[in-house]
């Protein structure tokens, strides 16, 4: 298959090919390296004029949807507005052009940002210490689990098991596995909370950690949290807080005060740094005192009026990444923290709750909202009944949403609710937007009954039509090649 619009097809070896200045000729320069170690394989590379490159990527951008395009109620992803000042500050060359091996004296601004951001996150989470190095949420989980592993190793305990609720995000069990643990799943009760009886059966001195998200992936605040904490802590099982859902309690409550021993944050969710179509993010890990010694890599310290990076002690798990942190991501989230200040954070979580609850109320007469007890910052709609009746799939519903100019909610997650949509509006959406979105969902529900083909054939108003995922997986074409 040839895609005429791919950059490789636009190449024409134009006379304005980009180049860098060299003084000698290619052959003489390459004489510095033995022939056998040289390549001659750049012929696949395009040589396109800058104007055509610009048009190419601008065209691509026009085939993409971001938060700045419109409402992006992707549950569990906290797609809030990404303030432009964050980007402006991070673009300052005095922050951007700094080599990680610069002398400490020359990077006092960088280190102060890291130090102060860490302090702020300590305050926000109620943890005793925060490490900024992980690159994303899953990386934070892994780091947290390494820490727990090291903690028990130091106590000379073998604890091979990690508990995760059946509603957990896939990264939780996967991280446990990558960290060399065995995963045991804890059931949810009928309402979606942790099933305490099941938990009681599964805890033991073999369990290193229970990983929770709170509110959980159904948007429910664990009603028996105190009990869970007690059950675990009685056996020294570490409680892990997956911060993907922190936005619900940001500024309202601190995971560190509710019993969690380890927490990771998703700066690219709760702290408004752009997700960029797949990262880079940052997944700082916070821990309670008893785990501080195990934190990874280096630490920013402030002594004698000077900031510096200090290698952590011998109990440290070691590094989890090259260099210190995803600095510009941390910087952006620190700009966000400084902007909002205590007043901003006092409203943030409440408005995230307001938006989710409001949207939930607008929809609950029409849809089966799986999270009945109480909605926090997101909620899950089950379309099981509708799908059964109409022979449509939840994906048909999701694709039809695209036709109305919105991004779809998260589809088929959490796994414990069948045919579900998970909706998270975040606090940066207006009442007007929520009203319109509710209207459209209700309209689509109507369409599913009166004209199900509309959904089946959707989307039609998008740059391309419904994508054939099966074909993609059956005959994988994973790079472009001219001859095929």
Partner 1 sequence: MTYFPHSETDIKEMLSVIGKKNLEELESPIPAKYIVKTLNLPSQKTELEVNQYFDKLANKNKNYSTILAGAGSYYHYIPSTVDELTGRQEFYTAYTPYQAEISQGTLQAIFEYQTYIANLTGMDVSNASMYDGGTALAEACVIAINSTRKNKILVDKYVNPEYLEVLKTYMGALKVEIVIFESNPFKLDVEAFKKIWNAEFCGFVVASPNFCGSVIDYTGIVDIVKKDKRLVIQSVSEAMSLSVLKTPGDMGADLACGEAQSFGMPLSFGGPYLGFLTCKKEHLRKMPGRIVGQTKDSDGNIVYTLTLTAREQHIRRELATSNICSNHGLCATRASVYLSTVGGKGLRTCGLANIEKSHYLYEEISKLAKFKVEKSQIFFNEFVVSTDIAYDKISKKLEENGILSFLPLAKFYSSLSNYYLICATEMTTKEEIDNLVAILGSL
Ligand X SMILES: Cc1ncc(COP(=O)(O)O)c(C=O)c1O
Burial (0-12, 13-18, 19+ Cβ within 10 Å), 99: exposed
Phi, psi angle pair for 223, to nearest 5°: -75, -25
Is 190 a binding residue for partner 1 by CB under 8 A? The answer is no
Element (DSSP H or E) covering residue 383: none
Site string for a copy of itself, 66-85 (x = CB under 8 A): -xxxx----------x-xx-
Is 155 a binding residue for a copy of itself by CB under 8 A? The answer is no
Is 442 a binding residue for a copy of itself by CB under 8 A? The answer is no
Nearer to a copy of itself, 365 or 432 (CB): 432
CA dist 432 to 187, 420, 454, Å? 38, 25, 26
Q: Total residues at the site for ligand X (CB under 6 A)?
A: 14
Distance between CA atoms of residues 455 and 451, nearest Å: 8
Distance in angstroms between the alpha carbons of the first and the last residue of the chain: 6
Q: Which does 213 bind (CB under 5 to 8 A by kind): a copy of itself, ligand X, partner 1, none?
A: ligand X
Here the tokens at position 153 are 């190793």
Distance between CA atoms of residues 207 and 225, nearest Å: 18
Among 71, 117, 118, 120, binds partner 1 (CB under 8 A): 120
Nearer to partner 1, 384 or 456 (CB): 456
Is 386 a binding residue for ligand X by CB under 6 A? The answer is no
Q: Which does 417 bind (CB under 5 to 8 A by kind): a copy of itself, partner 1, ligand X, none?
A: none
Least separation in angstroms between residue 68's CB and a copy of itself is 5
3-class secondary-structure state, position 287: strand
Among 127, 130, 135, 369, binds partner 1 (CB under 8 A): 135
Nearer to ligand X, 278 or 476 (CB): 278
CB 138 within 8 Å of CB 316: no
Q: Which stretch binds partner 1 (CB under 8 A): 8-16, 195-203, 204-212, 235-243?
A: 8-16
Region for 385 from its dihedrals, namely left if φ exceeds 0, alpha if ψ lies in -120 to 50, beta otherwise? alpha
Provide the 8-state DSSP code for 11: -
CB 174 within 8 Å of CB 162: no
Nearer to partner 1, 213 or 385 (CB): 213
User: Which residues inside 219-248 make contact with ligand X, applying CB under 6 A?
Assistant: 242, 244
Is 17 a binding residue for a copy of itself by CB under 8 A? The answer is no
Give the full edge-to-edge strand order of the sheet including 420-423.
368-369, 379-382, 420-423, 410-411
Is 95 a binding residue for a copy of itself by CB under 8 A? The answer is no
Least separation in angstroms between residue 342's CB and a copy of itself is 15
Q: Among the residues of 313-412, which ranges form H helices? A: 327-364, 384-390, 394-403
Q: Which residues of the shown chain bind a copy of itself in the complex (CB under 8 A)? A: 12, 14-15, 49-52, 54-55, 58, 62, 67-70, 81, 83-84, 347, 428, 430, 432
């Amino acid at each position: 298959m040839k895609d005429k619009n791919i950059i490789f097809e636009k190449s024409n070896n134009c006379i304005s090919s980009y180049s860098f200045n060299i003084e000698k000729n290619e052959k003489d320069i390459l004489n510095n390296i033995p022939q056998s170690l040289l390549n001659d394989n750049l012929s696949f590379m395009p040589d396109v004029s800058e104007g055509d490159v610009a048009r190419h990527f601008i065209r691509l951008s026009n085939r993409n949807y971001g938060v700045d395009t419109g409402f992006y109620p992707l549950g569990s992803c906290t797609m809030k507005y990404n303030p432009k000042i964050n980007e402006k500050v991070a673009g300052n060359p005095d922050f951007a052009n700094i080599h990680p091996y610069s002398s400490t004296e020359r990077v006092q601004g960088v280190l102060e940002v890291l130090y102060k951001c860490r302090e702020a996150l300590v305050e926000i989470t109620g943890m005793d210490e925060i490490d900024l190095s992980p690159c994303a949420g899953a990386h934070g989980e892994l780091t947290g689990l390494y820490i727990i592993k090291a903690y028990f190793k130091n106590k000379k305990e073998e604890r091979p098991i990690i508990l995760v609720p059946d509603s957990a995000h896939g990264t939780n069990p996967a991280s446990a596995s990558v960290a060399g643990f065995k995963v045991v799943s804890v059931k949810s009760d009928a309402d979606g909370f942790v099933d305490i009886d099941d938990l009681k059966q599964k805890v033991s001195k073999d369990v290193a950690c229970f990983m929770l998200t709170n509110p959980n992936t159904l948007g429910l605040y664990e009603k028996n949290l105190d009990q869970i904490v007690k059950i675990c802590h009685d056996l020294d099982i570490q409680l892990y807080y997956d911060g993907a859902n922190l936005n619900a309690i940001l500024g309202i409550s601190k995971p560190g005060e509710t019993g969690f021993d380890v927490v990771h944050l998703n700066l690219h969710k709760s702290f408004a740094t752009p997700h960029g179509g797949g990262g880079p993010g940052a997944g700082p890990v916070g821990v309670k005192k008893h785990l501080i010694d195990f934190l990874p890599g280096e630490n920013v310290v402030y002594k004698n009026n000077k900031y510096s990076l200090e290698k952590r002690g011998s109990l440290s798990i070691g590094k989890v990444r090259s260099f210190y942190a995803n600095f510009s991501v941390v910087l952006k989230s620190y700009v966000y923290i400084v902007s909002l200040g205590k007043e901003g954070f006092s409203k943030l979580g409440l408005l995230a709750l307001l938006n989710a609850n409001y949207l939930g109320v607008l929809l609950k007469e029409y849809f089966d909202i799986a999270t009945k007890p109480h909605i926090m910052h997101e909620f899950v709609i089950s379309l099981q009944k509708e799908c059964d009746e109409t022979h449509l799939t939840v994906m048909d519903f999701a694709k039809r949403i695209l036709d109305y100019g919105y991004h779809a909610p998260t589809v088929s997650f959490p796994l414990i609710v069948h045919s579900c949509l998970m909706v998270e509006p975040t606090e940066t959406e207006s009442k007007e937007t929520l009203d319109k979105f509710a209207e459209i969902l209700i309209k689509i529900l109507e369409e599913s009954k009166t004209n199900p083909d509309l959904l089946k054939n959707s989307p039609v108003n998008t740059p391309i039509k419904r994508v054939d995922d099966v074909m993609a997986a059956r005959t994988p074409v994973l790079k472009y090649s001219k001859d095929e």
